[in-house]
Amino acid sequence: MKNPIALLTLSMLVPVTASALPKAPFPDPLPFPDILDPQPPPPPPPGGGELPPLYVSSPSTGDRTTSSVAVSWHNSSAALAGLALERAASEDGPYATVQCWQPMNMSMDFGKVAGAASTGDCINAAHPGSFVDSGRSADALQCYRIRVWDAAGTQMTSLPSCAFTRAREPNERVAPWQARLMIETGDVGGAGTDDFIRIGLNDHMSNIQPHGDATWLDYPHDDFEAGSAFTYDLNLIEDFDDITKLSVYKDGTDDWCVSRMMLVVDRDTVVEQDFTDLPDGCRWLAGKDNLFEISHDELRAMDSWREFASLPPGFSIENSALVSIVEGAVGHIGYSTELYWNGDDDGAVIDPVDADTLHVDIQASASVEDWFDPTVRIEFDADIVVTCEPNKALGMFDVTLALLPTDPRVDAEGWTAELGEFLACTFEWDWNCLEEELADTVAANLPEFPSGSLQLSSCPDVHVDEFGSIIFSLG
Ligand SMILES: [Ca+2]
Ligand SMILES: [Ca+2]
Ligand SMILES: [Ca+2]
């Protein structure tokens, strides 16, 4: 197993502050349909005739605090007599009215509207299209839907949208600098798999906030073989408390049995699962039962979760940790591109260039239909950029560190033109465009780590050593 970071730590000196980390800019591929995105109102009928009759569309959730959620919606139907915003503690309800709007000039008979709010509770005005729902509990799911009715008493109810209120105030939040998952595969017959595995740190459905923080796992070796264990770097998340669900999803038909897993965030173990007491000594993900989840409430009830304390990265980031991050990022991208790891010759090598530059050299393979799979080389230099600003309130310095790739380049081992021709670029008359896209995608996704903000008592000297590790020293 790879030792992530540093032999020495700054744990007594360096609290990690809450700060936003950039998120991966590429969309995560989801095997589930995104069916519940808030929708704009339907277009007016052709020819500019009458407005469509009563309609309703899902609300969307916006800013979240520890006690409120901003909700907005569309509805401008001419048939609308009243509109209610409803809330529940889960998607399935039961829903209760938060607020409703009923302009006086809309005549209607409330007696006909079963379940609608009473006349007295509605505001005598047109609905505003948005509402900040306050007085909520922290770190709790809030689900919203819209109910509308017309003057004849016809009602419609939208699909729900949900959001977790924030768990902590902004100055108390933790923006993790590292998230890793150790996975051990069971040792019984057929326990290993060659399927893709996706680890989710929150929901995969787009109507829930937060959602979509997930990583496809693939390193340049045969992953998830029986009896093996490996630690995977996961894509980072902006806010530790946005880990609202831990899921393990298997995409494919090769059954898999997991014996242990452990989620480690900022060097602190937050979730441990041991399935060795089960009949096969492991938990099967097989057939349609291909998803294992630990819910928000289960996570929050764990002692290891409640006792989470982020530890800083320490005095160095070892070369092996940097290589692991790069290989994890390429494996994740591989799920949605033609890039993949093929055998022991593939992988990443990171070498020093000078005191503040690393050279990254990735060898992977590309799958090409009806052809052989060429080897693909991706290379770039990564400049280490350090900022250090005084934090007067704390009498400390806010320090950030980023790896900025320069001049990424890709070569498909002598078969550049053929690779382009066989892949997506044919119609753009640019046989290299897939390669350029790959290089940009890889480069854009690598410098995520370590880019959190640290607080130090002085500005550090940061340099690359002869082994291609990053060393911090306090002046
Ligand atoms: Ca299997
Ligand atoms: Ca495998
Ligand atoms: Ca692999």
What is the average pLDDT across 316-334? Answer: 85
pLDDT above 90 as % of the chain: 46
Are 398 and 455 a contacting pair, CB within 8 Å? yes
> In angstroms, how far apart are the furthest CA atoms of the chain?
80
Q: Ligand 3 centre from 319 Cα, in Å?
A: 20
Q: Ligand 3 centre from 222 Cα, in Å?
A: 5
- pLDDT category at 83 given cuts 50, 70, 90 is very high
What is the average pLDDT across 144-158? Answer: 91
Indicate the Cα dihedral angle 368, 373, 379, 382, nearest 10°.
70
- pLDDT category at 452 given cuts 50, 70, 90 is low
> Which bound ligand lies closest to the C-alpha atom of 190?
1
Q: Ligand 2 centre from 372 Cα, in Å?
A: 21
pLDDT tens column, 203-229: 999 999 999 999 999 999 999 999 999
Q: Ligand 1 centre from 195 Cα, in Å?
A: 9
- Write phi, then psi, for 395 (nearest 5 degrees): 65, 30
Q: Ligand 1 centre from 418 Cα, in Å?
A: 35
Domain residue spans of the chain: 1-16+311-475, 20-36+171-310, 60-159
Q: 423-426: long-range contacts at Cβ-Cβ below 8 A with a sequence spacing of 24 or more?
A: 423/338, 423/366, 423/368
| CATH code, 20-36+171-310 | 2.60.60.20
Strands (E) in 204-328, as ranges, are 208-209, 214-217, 229-233, 246-251, 256-265, 268-274, 283-285, 291-294, 316-317
Q: How far apart are CA 143 and CA 125, in angstroms?
A: 24
Q: Ligand 2 centre from 192 Cα, in Å?
A: 6
Ramachandran bin of 3, using left for φ above 0, alpha for ψ from -120 to 50, beta for the remaining angles: beta
Q: Ligand 1 centre from 298 Cα, in Å?
A: 28
pLDDT tens column, 411-430: 665 444 444 444 433 333 33
Q: Ligand 2 centre from 188 Cα, in Å?
A: 14
Q: What's residue 292's pLDDT? A: 97
Note the pTM of the prediction, 2 decimals. 0.75
Q: How far apart are CA 237 and CA 235, in angstroms?
A: 7
Q: Ligand 2 centre from 222 Cα, in Å?
A: 5
Q: How far apart are CA 278 and CA 272, in angstroms?
A: 15
Least trusted range by pLDDT, from 164-173, 279-288, 393-402, 457-466: 393-402
- pLDDT category at 147 given cuts 50, 70, 90 is very high
User: What residue type is assigned to position 61 of the chain?
Assistant: T
The fold for domain 60-159 equals Immunoglobulin-like (2.60.40)
3-state helix, strand, coil in the chain (%, to 5): 15, 35, 50
Q: Ligand 2 centre from 228 Cα, in Å?
A: 10
